[in-house]
């Protein structure tokens, strides 16, 4: 069976299953097969790479925001230290104090180091803490020192609209201060919104959900281990959505385990207190997974068909539409006047070329002869130039007899030479290019055709 048939078979075993567990088990088997086939796994990797490109763009913006916020933080801390302000008395507007005996700067540092997790982006937590610090300083009378962070109403409204979205409410002022600590912050919000939009509208979102399911199923079956704080999710390293994705995978895995227990009579036999657990499937949606499986399956089949067609076309070109060989026939190892070109061992059809062109320079056929010489001799090397390469790869095929042969047999012109690392021309080896002496190569009955009657 070929890949397409195997894929179709695995797909048919689960796609219309009514039992949730049987559906999930079949989907897991389908993904196990797909990811075991290099050609299909490559498609999954290509789709997930689209996500990675967007993640990288957002991470770059996040890094820039962190630097801007760090500068703002230093300014605020300097105001506090210079004026010996008691931050323990600060009111909270956008943040909440920790249960233990900490102050707002210690809590801010906890988020910066990753010891505390709040929002998807660390910069959002930092920004909220900076806002509360600045709001308290403003209330305490330090408006002049904070002026660089305060925007006018119209500027603040435009800034907030980029974060909240143009279709949502307009924020013209904040009663605690129109503070802006990062000029890049709105750009990251817009890029993040675009990320979520593409996740919903582009094909990679379907692949992402199936890969998340696959990770959760492997975890549920005890084949995959995650630490208690999964930072990467599907990725091997930390990214802004890794924790959320990791939690989603954990939650899906628990529900799969719950469904498995409900479907295994083994538990009821060994545990008298066993009670069937009802899975509410709050994190793992069969409807969404089925829609994703349908979209991904169709795309995979299309890719297989396209690859098969392309491979067939390439095979036809390689086997049926290119020259099989070129022979360069001479009367001596160092030809002085003429070199005969023979295509596909058609020795009864030699094509005559001059060793020198009409300007007295070495011709393209002689350069090809030197490049194809049977030993690597220093005096045979041909230095690369675009003109020389073009003369060999294209000029030789402009000869009328050569053009007629290619056209009659519907053959594609091969590329004979290419540039080497040492700046010389070498054979590209798409087809054999062979030199040979007339008396050794050409059948006796055809040798009379190689007499140079022009001399």
Residue-wise pLDDT for 38-80, tens only, equals 999 999 999 999 999 999 999 999 999 999 999 999 999 999 9
pLDDT at 407 exceeding the cut of 70? yes
Question: Over pLDDT 90: what percentage of the chain?
Answer: 58
Question: Residue 287 above 80 pLDDT?
Answer: yes
Instruction: Give the DSSP letter of residue 133.
Output: H
- Compute the average pLDDT of residues 267-280: 45
pLDDT tens digit sequence for 122-159: 999 999 999 999 999 999 999 999 999 999 999 998 99
Taking all residues of the chain, what is their mean pLDDT, rounded to a whole number? 85
C-alpha distances out from residue 377 to 182, 372, 373, 374, 381, Å: 66, 11, 8, 9, 7
Residues β-bridged to residue 300: none
CA dist 349 and 340 (Å) reads 10
Q: What is the dihedral of CA 213, 219, 222, 226, to 10 degrees?
A: 160
Instruction: Count CB neighbours of 344 within 10 A.
Output: 16
**316 — pLDDT class (breaks 50, 70, 90):** low
Q: Which residues pair with 338 in a beta bridge?
A: 354
Q: How confident is the model at residue 276 (pLDDT cuts 50, 70, 90)?
A: very low
Under 8 Å CB-to-CB from 262, ≥6 apart: which residues? 21, 276, 277, 278, 279
Between 100 and 193, the higher pLDDT residue = 193
Q: What pTM did the predictor assign? A: 0.62
Q: What are 340's strand-pairing partners?
A: 329, 352
List CB contacts of 125: < 8 A, sequence separation 6 or more.
Answer: 111, 116, 118, 119
Segments in 85-237 forming alpha helices (H): 104-113, 122-139, 153-164, 185-201, 204-220
**What are the boundaries of each domain within the chain?**
3-36+203-310, 53-195, 326-450
d(CA 407, CA 409): 5
Query: How does pLDDT run across 253-265, given as a tens digit for each residue?
Result: 888 888 777 765 4
Residue pLDDT, tens place only, 192-216: 999 999 999 999 999 999 999 999 8
DSSP type of residue 169: -
So what's the pLDDT on residue 79? 96
**Number of other CB atoms surrounding residue 167 within 10 Å:** 6
């Amino acid at each position: 069976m070929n890949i397409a048939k195997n894929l179709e078979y695995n797909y048919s075993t689960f796609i219309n299953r009514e039992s949730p567990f049987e559906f999930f088990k079949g989907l897991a088997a389908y993904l196990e097969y797909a990811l075991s086939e290099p050609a299909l796994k490559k498609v999954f990797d290509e789709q997930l790479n689209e996500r990675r490109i967007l993640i990288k763009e957002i991470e770059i913006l996040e890094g820039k925001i962190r630097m801007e916020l760090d500068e703002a933080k230093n300014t605020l801390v300097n105001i506090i230290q210079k004026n010996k302000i008691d931050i323990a008395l600060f009111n909270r507007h956008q943040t909440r104090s920790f249960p233990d005996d900490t102050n707002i700067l210690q809590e801010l540092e906890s988020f910066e180091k990753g010891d505390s997790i709040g929002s998807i982006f660390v910069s959002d937590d930092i920004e909220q803490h900076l806002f509360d610090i600045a709001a308290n300083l403003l209330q305490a009378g330090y408006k002049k020192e904070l002026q660089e962070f305060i925007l006018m109403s119209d500027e603040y409204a435009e800034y907030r609209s980029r974060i909240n979205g143009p279709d949502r409410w307009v924020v013209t002022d904040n009663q605690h201060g129109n503070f802006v600590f990062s000029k890049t912050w709105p750009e990251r919000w817009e890029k993040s919104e675009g990320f979520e939009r593409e996740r919903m509208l582009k094909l990679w979102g379907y692949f992402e959900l199936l890969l998340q399911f696959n990770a959760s199923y492997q975890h549920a079956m005890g084949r995959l281990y995650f630490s208690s704080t999964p930072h990467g999710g599907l990725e091997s390293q930390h990214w802004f959505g890794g924790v959320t994705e990791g939690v989603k995978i954990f939650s899906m895995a628990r529900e799969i385990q719950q469904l498995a227990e409900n479907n295994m009579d083994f538990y009821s036999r060994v545990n008298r207190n066993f009670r069937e657990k009802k899975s509410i499937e709050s994190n793992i949606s069969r409807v969404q997974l089925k829609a994703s499986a349908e979209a991904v399956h169709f795309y995979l089949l299309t890719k297989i068909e396209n690859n098969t067609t392309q491979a067939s076309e390439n095979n036809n070109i390689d086997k049926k539409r290119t020259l099989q060989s070129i022979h360069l026939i001479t009367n001596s190892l160092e030809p002085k006047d003429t070199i005969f070109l023979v295509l596909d061992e058609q020795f009864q059809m030699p094509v005559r070329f001059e060793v020198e062109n009409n300007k007295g320079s070495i011709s393209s056929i002689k350069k090809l002869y030197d490049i194809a010489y049977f030993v690597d001799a220093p005096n045979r090397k041909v230095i690369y130039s675009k003109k020389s390469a073009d003369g060999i790869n294209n000029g030789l095929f402009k000869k009328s007899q050569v053009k007629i042969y290619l056209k009659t047999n519907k053959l594609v012109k091969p590329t004979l030479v290419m540039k080497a690392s040492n700046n010389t021309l070498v054979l590209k080896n798409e087809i054999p290019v062979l030199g040979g002496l007339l008396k050794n190569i050409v059948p006796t009955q055809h040798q009379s055709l190689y007499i140079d009657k022009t001399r």
